[in-house]
Structure 1
Amino acid sequence: MISKSTIDQVYEMARVEEVIGDFVNLKKSGSNFKGLSPFTDERTPSFMVSPVKQIWKDFSSGKGGNVVAFLMEHEHFTYPEAIKYLAKKYQIEVEETEQSDEQKEQANERESLYLVSEYAKEYYEGVLWNTEPGKAVGLSYFKERGFTEETIRLFGLGYGLDEWDAFTEQALEKGYQLDYLEKTGLTIVKDDPRNPGQKRKFDRFKGRVLFTIHSLSGRVLGFGGRILGNDKKAAKYLNSPESEIYHKSKVLYGIYFAKQAIAREDNCYLVEGYTDVIQMYQRGIRNVVASSGTALTPEQIRIISRLTKNITVLFDGDAAGLRASLRGVDLILEQGMNVRICTFPAGEDPDSFAKNNAYEDVVLYLEENSKDFIQFKTSLLAKEAANDPIKKADTIRDIVGSIAKVPDRIKREIYVQQCAAMMNISEEVLFNTLAQIGRKDFQEASKRRNQETKAFEVVRDTPAEARVDVQYELERKIIEILLLYGKEMEEFEDLVLKENEEGELVLEPERVEARVYEKIYLDLQEDEIELTHDHFKTIYYRLMEALNEKEDFQIAEFLHELDQQLVNDVSSILMEEEKYNLHNWERKDIYPKEKARTIAQLVSETILTLRCFLIKKRIHSLQQDTEEKTEDNSEVLEEIVHYLQLNKLLNNKLNRVLS
C-alpha cells in the first residue's frame, strides 16, 4: 500500500490543469479552462477545469472530480495506479508499506497485465543493450535506420532473442504468471502433440526488433515486432493481439510523446509506420503519430480531436493505391476535422525524407506541399479522369461523396465552389448531387431508426413528466454554501417566533454574528432537520467536521479525503455554476450577480425555503390523517392552522429577503 505521506505529497504537488492538459487541449476561459469532452463525441466544449478549486467537470457525460478521479475515469487506472502516475510525473518518491501475500493475490487482472507488459519492455531493452545478439542484430538495425541512442531509449525499442522461449522462461523465473503472459500475447501456449496433456510455450516476438506501444498516459500496452531475417513464412510485422489493455483500434503509436506538441502546434501529422514516427520525432517534428498499421478508426480520430481539430496525412511519394488510401480519410471529415494531405517526392517516405533533410527543410516542405484534402483529391482524380467523360463523372461523384461527409455547411459550400471550378462543371449540378446524397443518407438513417423503434414498441412506456425534487435541490444548495463559504464570518438575521400585543404570532428579527457553517448547523439542529439524501448527508457531516477542526479549510485537501463517488458529487456541485460561463454571458451584456456578495442572504433564503417546504409537507401529511380518521380531528386541525400561520409568516419573510 502507498503511504499516506506520499498520497498527501502527490495531492499537494499535482495541478489538475497540467495533468488534464496532457490529454485534452485546454483553452483559458476566465479563471477556468475549457475543452472538448474526452468522454463523449462533441463539437462544442463542455469540459471545464478549475485551477482554483483543483477540480474538473464534464457537462456532456456528467463526470467530474479531482485530478485522481480524471485519471481513473480516462485511463481506467485504479486509485494506486493514479497516485503512482502522478508521483512519477512530479518526481515524488513513492513510499509503500509491505503487502501481505493475500493482498498481492488480490491485485486485479488489469494491473497484472500492465505489470507483465512493463517487465517485457525492460527485458527486451536489456537484451538490446546488454547481450551480444542484441547489440549485433537489434542495435545495429536501429542505428542503420539512423536512430540515435537517446531516441532508441526514449521510445523503449528492444530486441527478442532468436530462441523459442528465452523471454517466457525468464519471466516465469521472475514470478510472472503464464496466464498473464498468454493474455498479453507475449507468450503463445499450444498443446504439445508429442506429449498429450502437456503445453508448449513460445515467445511471440522471437528474433524480432521491438517497438513499444504506449497509452496516452505512457503505460505499456503492447508491442510491434519486425522480423529481420528472410523467412518468407513469417509475417514481416507482428503486433500484440487484442487484450484487456490493448485495443488496436483505440491506440495511436507515438501519441504519448506527441500529445503536448499536437496541442501546442494545433496540428497532428498522421503517418503509416513506427519508423516514420520515430524518425520525424528525432528530426524535431514532434506532433506526429501512426495508426499502428491499421485502417484509421473513429476512436483514433477522437483521440486526436481532443488535442487539435487539424490533421495532416503524410503519404509516401510512390504509395501504391493512393486513391484507396484517400477513401479512409473521409472518416476524418465525418468527425468534423480539418484534413490536409502531403505527399513526398517519388521514392521517399516520412522516414527517409526526415532522415535525409535538415529540420528547417522538412518544416518548409510540409508547409509548402500540404494541400486541403478536397482540393488534393480533386486535383489527383481530375488527372486520372483526363478526357474520359465516364471516368470524369465517376470522379465528380467520388469527390461530392467526400464533401457530403463534412458536417459544416459553410465548408461544404466552399468545397463545392472549388470542385466546380477545377472540374469545369456547374455548381448547381454539384449541389443537386450533394442534396441527393444527403436525402439518401437521411432515408437510410430514418429506416434504421424506424426498425429500432419497432423493435422496442411493445415494451415502451409513456415517459413520466420530469418533476423537480425540491428537497434534493435545497440540500444540494446547503452543501454548495458550506463548500464555498463555510468559514466566512457573516452577520445574520435570526427569526424569533413571538406573540404581539394582539395575541398574533409574529417573527421578530435578531442580529447575530457567526460563521456560515455554525449558522447552518444550529438552524438545522433547532428545527431537527436532517438531510435525507445519503450522499449529501455523508458530505454534510464530513464537511462540518472539517470546517470545525481545520482553521485553514481547503477544498482540494477535503476532496482527497473522500471516496471517488463523493468526489464526483462535490465536483458536480462546485462546477454547476461554471456551466453558465460556457455561454459567455458577458458578451451578451448579461452580468450575473456574484453569490459571494450576499452570503448571509443566500444562507437565510435557503434555510427558510427548506423550512417552508418541510412545513407544507407536514401540512399535507396532517390533512391526509384527517381524511383517514373518523373520530374527532380538532387537535389535528388546530395543528394544521398553526403550521399554516407559520408558513405564511415565513413566506412573507422570504418575499422580503428576495426583494
Structure 2
Amino acid sequence: MISRETIDRVFETARVEEVIGEFVQLKRAGSNFKGLSPFSEERSPSFMVSPVKQIWKDFSTGKGGNAVSFLMEHEHYSYPEAIRYLAKKYNIELEETEQTDEQKQQADERESMFLVSEFARDYFQRILLEDNEGKAIGLSYFKERGFTDETIKKFQLGYALNDWDAFSSEALNKGYNLKYLESTGLTIVKQDLLAPNGTKQFDRFKGRVLFPIHSMSGRVLGFGGRILTNDKKAAKYLNSPDSDIYHKGNILYGIYYAKQTIAKEDNCYLVEGYTDVISFHQKGVENVVASSGTALTENQIRLINRLTKNITILFDGDAAGIRASIRGIDLILEQGMNVRVLSFPDGDDPDSFAKKVSEQELKEYLENNSQDFINFKVSLLMKDAQNDPVKKAGLIRDIVVSISKIPDRIQREVYIQECSRIMDISESVLFSELAQLDKKEKREASGKQPYDKPSEPVLTKTPQLEKVNELKKYEREIIKILLLYGNKEVDFVDFEAPETIDPKKPQKLKKVHITNVVSKEIYLNLQEDEVEFTDDIFKHIYYAVIEQLNQNESISVDVLVNNSNPEIANLVTNILMDDEKYVLSNWERKNIFTKSKESDLSKMVLDAIYNLRRVLIEQKINSLQLKLKNEVERDESMLSIIDYNALKVLVAERLARVV
C-alpha cells in the first residue's frame, strides 16, 4: 500500500494544469484554462481547468475532479496507478506502508518480473531492428505483412534469435536473476546433470517474431510469439504461460493502445489475433482489441465494460469459427452490454480485409455492415434449420436463452418483439418461454423448489418522490454554500418570532442583525432543528466539513476534492466549477454581466435554511395526517398538526421577509 504521506505529497506537488496539459491543448481564459473535451467530439471548448482550485470540469460530459481523477478517467488508471504516475512525474519517492515480510517479498518479486519483461521487450526489438538475422527474417516478415516502421515501433514488435539460449544468456550477463526469467516464462529451465549448475536453460520464443502484451497502464505482462518456419511439431503461436503478472484470460491484446479511443468512440471492436489489431490501427481504426485466440472470458469483458457498454464482434468468413465463438455473445449480454456482430466476406479476416481497402472504405464497411446479435444469430443458424420445424424450434429457444441473459427488462422486451417479427412466432409464446427460463434461474440461484410461492413485490408510493427530490435540492444548496462561502464572515439580517404564534394571522417579526461565519451560522441552525441529511454523500461531506471546523475553525475544500471516494470528489468538483461555465461563454464580451452571488450571501444562506425547514415541516404534517385515521392517536396528532402549521406560517413569513 502507498503511504498516506506519499499520497499527500503527490497532491501537494502535482499541478492539475501541467498534468492535463500533456493530454489536452489548453488556452488561457482569465484565471483558468480551457480546451476541447478529450471525452467527446466537439468544436467549441467545454473543458475547463482551474489552477487556483486545482480541479477540472468537462461540461460536455459532466465529468470532473483533480489530477488523479483525470488520469483515472482519461488513461483509465486505477487509483494507485495514477498516484505512481504522478510520483514518477514529480520525482517523489514512493513510500509503502508497513507490510508483512511475505507481502514485501511478493511485491518485490512482481516488480522483478515486470523489470525482466521490460528488458526482454527492449532486447527483442533491438534484435529485430539492428541484428542481421532479426532484420533478414523478423523485420522482413513484418514488412511483408504491410506494417510500417512507425507501427512496428508503436507496438514494440520484436524478434528472438533462432538460438537455444541467446536471450537467456544476455539477460543473465546483464545481472537478471534466472528465477524471474523462469517465472515469467521467457526461459525454460530443465535439469541437466552434465551442466555446471545441474540445470540448462532454453529460450521459450527462439526463432519467433514477438508481440508484447501490455496491461491497461502499459506495463509488459507477457509475449505472444509466431513461428516463421514450417516446423509441424511446433505451435504456430505461443504465448507466455500464466504467472503472477500475466493471466491470459484477464487481459486483451491492444487494450493499452485502444483504451482512449474506445472511451471516446463509445464502442469497442473485438477481433481474434494480434495482426488484426495492428492492421486496424494502421488504417486509423484504433478502438480495437483482441482476445488473442482464446475463448472470451468474463474478466476480459469487464475490462471493456470499464471503457464502454458497446461491443462489436468482428468474425472472419469462416462459418465454423463463427459458431465456435458465438457463445461469447451470451457472456457479454450477461454483463449488461450491447452487442453487435460483423462478418467479413468469405476468405477474409479483419487483417486481410483492412489491407485490401482504404481507411475510408474500412470505416464505412464497419459502420454499414454490423448487425444486431439476434439478426446475426438467426441468419447464421437458419441455414441449418431451413424447413426443419424441430431445428427451428431449437433455434428460437437458443435465441430466447441469449435474451434471458440481458439484465435490463426493457431491452429484453424489445428483443422479444424483434425475435417475434423475424421468426414469425407470437410474442406471447416467446414471453412464456422467457418467464420459464427466469423462474428456473431464480430457483437455481435461491435453492427453492418449483412449488415454492414467490414473495409479493413491495410497492412504493411514488407521490413522495417529488418531496424527497425537493429536500435533496436544498441539502445540495447548503453543501454548495458551505464549500464556496463557508469561511466568509457575513452580516446576517434575521427575524425573531413572538413568544406566541397564531397560525391564522400574519406574525410581527422583530429584525435582528447578527455577524457570523457562514459555516457556523448554518451549523447552529441545523443543530437547533436536529436536521439530518437524507443523502449519504451530502451527509458525508457535511460531517467532514464540521470535523474540519472543530479542528481548524475553517474549511479546506482540497481535502474533499482529493477524497478517494470518486462520488464525493466528483460532486465537490461539480459544485466548485458550477460558475466557470460562464467563462466559456464569454458573456462579459457580449456585455452580459452576472450579478455577484456574494452580494446576496446573507439572503442565500437564510433562504436555504428556511426552505429546508419548510420542506421538513411539510413532510412532518403529511405523516401526522396519516395518523388521524387512528382514533387512539387522533387528538394528539391534531394538536401536533396545529403546532407544525404555526411553524409553517412562521417560516413562510421569514422567507417573505428575507426575499
TM-score when scaled to structure 1?
0.63
Opposite residue 440 of structure 1, the aligned amino acid is: L
Q: Distance in 2 between matches of 1:124 and 1:399?
A: 47
Where do 5+ consecutive residues of structure 1 fail to align?
34-50, 57-63, 421-425, 453-474, 497-506, 525-531, 548-554, 579-593, 609-649
2:443 maps to 1:446: yes
1:142, distance to aligned residue in structure 2 (A): 0.8
Opposite residue 318 of structure 1, the aligned amino acid is: D
**Against the structure 1 CA distance between its residues 538 and 518, is the aligned structure 2 distance closer, same or farther, given a 3 Å change threshold?**
closer
Opposite residue 511 of structure 1, the aligned amino acid is: H
Opposite residue 422 of structure 2, the aligned amino acid is: C
Contact 2:276 2:351 survives alignment (8 Å): yes
Q: Distance in 1 between matches of 2:437 and 2:522?
A: 61
**Against the structure 1 CA distance between its residues 193 and 229, is the aligned structure 2 distance closer, same or farther, given a 3 Å change threshold?**
farther
Q: Distance in 1 between matches of 2:67 and 2:421?
A: 47
**Against the structure 1 CA distance between its residues 240 and 510, is the aligned structure 2 distance closer, same or farther, given a 3 Å change threshold?**
farther
Q: Distance in 1 between matches of 2:107 and 2:319?
A: 45
SS in 2 for 1:427: coil
**Against the structure 1 CA distance between its residues 365 and 14, is the aligned structure 2 distance closer, same or farther, given a 3 Å change threshold?**
same
SS in 1 for 2:416: helix
Residue 48 of structure 1: aligned partner? none
Residue 13 of structure 2: aligned partner? 8
- CA deviation string 1:271-309 (max 9, x = no partner): 110101111111222222211222122333333344443
| Worse overlay, 270-279 or 476-485 | 476-485
Residue 231 of structure 2: aligned partner? 231
Residue 381 of structure 1: aligned partner? 381
Aligned ranges for residues 508-547 of structure 1 at < 5 Å? 511-513=513-515, 516=518, 539-540=548-549, 544=553
Residue 294 of structure 1: aligned partner? 294
Q: Distance in 2 between matches of 1:574 and 1:150?
A: 40
**Among residues 412, 416, 426, which one is paired with 1:409 in the alignment?**
412
Opposite residue 421 of structure 2, the aligned amino acid is: Q
- CA deviation string 1:345-395 (max 9, x = no partner): 222111111112222332333344322221122122222223333333333
1:558, distance to aligned residue in structure 2 (A): 5.6
1:141, distance to aligned residue in structure 2 (A): 1.1
Q: Distance in 2 between matches of 1:489 and 1:519?
A: 10
**Against the structure 1 CA distance between its residues 438 and 117, is the aligned structure 2 distance closer, same or farther, given a 3 Å change threshold?**
farther
Contact 1:491 1:514 survives alignment (8 Å): yes
Opposite residue 420 of structure 2, the aligned amino acid is: Q
1:149, distance to aligned residue in structure 2 (A): 0.5
Opposite residue 188 of structure 1, the aligned amino acid is: I
| Worse overlay, 442-451 or 479-488 | 479-488
**Against the structure 1 CA distance between its residues 7 and 137, is the aligned structure 2 distance closer, same or farther, given a 3 Å change threshold?**
farther
2:131 maps to 1:131: yes
1:9, distance to aligned residue in structure 2 (A): 4.5
Residue 209 of structure 2: aligned partner? 209
2:432 maps to 1:435: yes
Residue 250 of structure 1: aligned partner? 250
**Against the structure 1 CA distance between its residues 184 and 510, is the aligned structure 2 distance closer, same or farther, given a 3 Å change threshold?**
farther
**Against the structure 1 CA distance between its residues 358 and 603, is the aligned structure 2 distance closer, same or farther, given a 3 Å change threshold?**
closer
Q: Distance in 1 between matches of 2:166 and 2:267?
A: 42
SS in 2 for 1:243: coil
| Worse overlay, 232-241 or 185-194 | 185-194
- CA deviation string 1:473-529 (max 9, x = no partner): xx9999976533234342236999xxxxxxxxxx998635465468799999xxxxx
Opposite residue 427 of structure 1, the aligned amino acid is: I
| Worse overlay, 9-18 or 166-175 | 9-18
SS in 2 for 1:245: coil
- CA deviation string 1:441-479 (max 9, x = no partner): 422332332379xxxxxxxxxxxxxxxxxxxxxx99999
Contact 1:10 1:86 survives alignment (8 Å): no
Opposite residue 117 of structure 1, the aligned amino acid is: S
Residue 640 of structure 2: aligned partner? none
**Against the structure 1 CA distance between its residues 78 and 325, is the aligned structure 2 distance closer, same or farther, given a 3 Å change threshold?**
closer
Residue 618 of structure 2: aligned partner? none
**Against the structure 1 CA distance between its residues 595 and 153, is the aligned structure 2 distance closer, same or farther, given a 3 Å change threshold?**
same
Residue 323 of structure 1: aligned partner? 323
Contact 2:210 2:225 survives alignment (8 Å): yes
Q: Distance in 1 between matches of 2:485 and 2:290?
A: 49
Aligned ranges for residues 576-595 of structure 1 at < 5 Å? none
Q: Distance in 2 between matches of 1:390 and 1:566?
A: 54
Aligned ranges for residues 113-262 of structure 1 at < 5 Å? 113-192=113-192, 194=194, 198-262=198-262
- CA deviation string 1:77-105 (max 9, x = no partner): 675x52563589xxxx65467999x99x9
Q: Distance in 2 between matches of 1:205 and 1:170?
A: 14
2:485 maps to 1:485: yes
Residue 352 of structure 1: aligned partner? 352
Residue 313 of structure 2: aligned partner? 313
SS in 1 for 2:170: helix
Residue 397 of structure 1: aligned partner? 397
Q: Distance in 1 between matches of 2:185 and 2:429?
A: 52
Q: Distance in 1 between matches of 2:434 and 2:246?
A: 37
Contact 2:14 2:67 survives alignment (8 Å): no
2:414 maps to 1:419: no
SS in 2 for 1:491: strand
**Against the structure 1 CA distance between its residues 241 and 378, is the aligned structure 2 distance closer, same or farther, given a 3 Å change threshold?**
same
Q: CA RMSD in A?
A: 5.6
Q: Distance in 1 between matches of 2:72 and 2:154?
A: 26
| Worse overlay, 308-317 or 139-148 | 308-317
Residue 642 of structure 2: aligned partner? none
Q: Distance in 1 between matches of 2:386 and 2:442?
A: 36
**Against the structure 1 CA distance between its residues 241 and 536, is the aligned structure 2 distance closer, same or farther, given a 3 Å change threshold?**
farther
Q: Distance in 2 between matches of 1:299 and 1:24?
A: 27
**Against the structure 1 CA distance between its residues 542 and 279, is the aligned structure 2 distance closer, same or farther, given a 3 Å change threshold?**
farther
Q: Distance in 2 between matches of 1:65 and 1:94?
A: 20
- CA deviation string 1:206-263 (max 9, x = no partner): 3221112223333323221112223333322122233343333332222222233334
Contact 2:480 2:575 survives alignment (8 Å): no
SS in 1 for 2:221: strand
